[in-house]
Amino acid sequence: MSGRPDGEECLGDLGERQILEKVLRPRYAGVAGFGDDAAVLGVPIADRAGGELVATTDSCPTPLVTVLGEADLFHTGWLLVTINLSDLAAAGASPLGLVVNYTLPATTTVREFQRLLDGVDACVAEHGTRVVGGDLRDGGTMQLSATAIGQCLPDRRLGRAGASAGDRLLLIGQPGYLWAWAFVVAGRARLPEAQLRQVRDRAFRPTAQLTAGRVLAESGAVRATMDVSDGLFATVRTLCEANDLGARIDEDIRLDPAVESVCEQAGVRPFDLAQTWGDWSLVAAVPAGSVEAVIAALAAEAVPAREIGELAAAGGGYVLTGPGGERPWQGIAQERFSSSSWHGDGLDRMLSDLSRTG
């Protein structure tokens, strides 16, 4: 496209949130599930006893591990699958299949393409699903996307709307590993061999929280969910906006020992690694009286979860609470069509931002 027409806004002027509100919502607000992680397709005619079908589509950004020197396309293929299945997890859906789309330069070697496919196939197998189709074409740069189809439990589809003031927020998964690995590669932390392997494996092969999504849906107690794709702050803010609420978040958060060791060595607070993106956790809004039961149900499936705060009445904004009192939360987010959008070129900036907040 050519330059900016006089007086007209561009997408970069708006950022992702305002694009949603000003451009997309006026057109599609009436579509079932608009704004949720996965779109609603309805209930299959042949399966009236089943739940709704949902779909999501996502393109694969430049993986951080590639920027950190890992050239094997296996990990790019793995990430492509994870980011799509994570949206199904936020809907409480079980995956039925994945349709993949690959645009690759003609100079891509057969071995490179095979490794990309190896990563895709390994990740779908890990998550109990399969590739059911796709498209392959040539292009000047690599562009990867996929569409995941899933099915929810009857009348148990999860979404972003439905939360109330007083609901507790659960962070589900193992946050902090991807950027902990970045600090290790940058020479800001050292770990014993066993912990090094643990951090590397979690950073290179993030897991979509499909089991957690199913448990949350089965519980019947969860009022809203969202996957943490753009960072914890962006996730909580989006849930609040979907429900006209504020939030109070406890910044005294504990992470896994290996990640906390990296934080201590790098001079970064555990909370600041917890609020980064790239680990594909879930956030769920749960009534206060159901928190213990939901955490116990997740633990029974070996899914870690921690309470991180609560939703508050509208007008309260986003507040961090901790030993030092209360303060406004100006968190780390990866909003597309903005200066914080990740294109693989913001590593030094991100590490510096994390260090300044620590």
Q: Does residue 280 have a pLDDT over 90?
A: yes
| 40 to 91, 144, 210, 320: CA distances (angstroms) | 10, 23, 17, 34
Element (H, E) at 94: strand 94-104
Q: Is pLDDT above 60 for 15?
A: yes
Q: Is the pLDDT confidence value at 148 over 80?
A: yes
Task: Return binding residues for ATP.
Answer: 134-135, 160, 229
58, pLDDT greater than 50: yes
Tokens standing for residue 305: 């979860």
Please report which confidence band the pLDDT of residue 28 belongs to, taking 50, 70 and 90 as the band edges: low
The candidate with the shortest Cα–Cα distance to 64, out of 347, 308, 351, 348, is 347
300-318 tens-digit pLDDT: 999 999 999 999 999 889 9
Residues 6+ apart with CB under 8 A from 138: 103, 104, 105, 106
Q: What SS3 state is found at 130?
A: coil
Q: What is the DSSP string of 293-337?
A: HHHHHHHHTT--EEEEEEEE-TTS-EEEEETTEEEE-------TT
Binding-site entries for substrate: 318
More confident residue, 283 or 27: 283
pLDDT tens digit sequence for 331-358: 877 776 777 677 667 788 778 878 765 4
Q: What is the pLDDT of residue 59?
A: 94
pLDDT tops 60 at residue 48: no
Res 41: pLDDT: 73
* For residue 44, pLDDT beyond 80: no
Q: At what angle do helices 257-266 and 177-185 cross, to 10 degrees?
A: 50
Going by the annotation, the residues of the binding site are 37, 56-58, 87, 134-135, 160, 227, 229-230, 318
Say which residues have a Cβ less than 8 Å from residue 241's Cβ, sequence separation at least 6: 17
**How much is the pLDDT for 351?**
83
How far, in Å, are 55, 179, 344 from residue 276 at the CA level?
26, 7, 15
- Chain mean position to CA 191: 26
In the prediction, which pLDDT does 225 show?
Answer: 98
Looking at domain 168-357, its CATH architecture is: Alpha-Beta Complex (3.90)
Structure tokens, 194? 């066993």
Alpha helices in 59-192 (DSSP H): 64-67, 74-90, 110-126, 177-185
pLDDT in tens, 89-125: 999 999 999 999 999 998 999 899 999 999 999 999 9
Q: 173's torsion region: left (phi>0), alpha (psi -120 to 50) or beta?
A: left
In the predicted structure, residue 262 carries a pLDDT above the cut 80: yes
C-beta atoms surrounding 106 within 10 Å: 7
Residue 74 scores a pLDDT above 90? yes
**Residue-by-residue DSSP string for 188-245:** S----HHHHHHHHHHHHS----HHHHHHHHHHS---EEEE-SS-HHHHHHHHHHHHT-
In the chain, where are the structural domains located? 11-151, 168-357
The pLDDT value recorded for residue 323 is 86
Question: How high does pLDDT run on average in the chain?
Answer: 90
> What is the band of 1 on the pLDDT scale with cuts at 50, 70, 90?
very low
For position 96, what pLDDT does the model report? Answer: 94
| Residue pair 10/4 in contact by the 8 Å Cβ criterion | yes
Q: The tokens 């928190």 sit on which residue?
A: 291
Which pLDDT tens digit goes with each residue over 161-179? 999 999 999 999 999 999 9
Please report, rounded to a whole number, the percentage of residues in the chain having pLDDT higher than 70. Answer: 92
Question: Could you tell me the pLDDT band of residue 5, with boundaries at 50, 70 and 90?
Answer: low
pLDDT of 238 over the 70 cut:
yes
Can you give the pLDDT at residue 350?
79
DSSP helix/strand/coil, 56:
strand
Burial state string for 314-350 with b = 16 or more CB within 10 A and e = fewer than 16: eeeebbbbeeeeeeebebbbbbbbbebbbeeebbeeb
CATH number of 11-151: 3.30.1330.10
Please enumerate in sequence order all residues whose Cβ is within 8 A of that of 193, keeping only pairs 6 or more positions apart, or say none.
none
Write down the pLDDT at residue 87: 96
Long-range CB pairs of 30-34 (<8 Å, 24+ gap) are 33/157, 33/159
Annotated binding site for Mg(2+): 37, 56-58, 87, 135, 227, 230
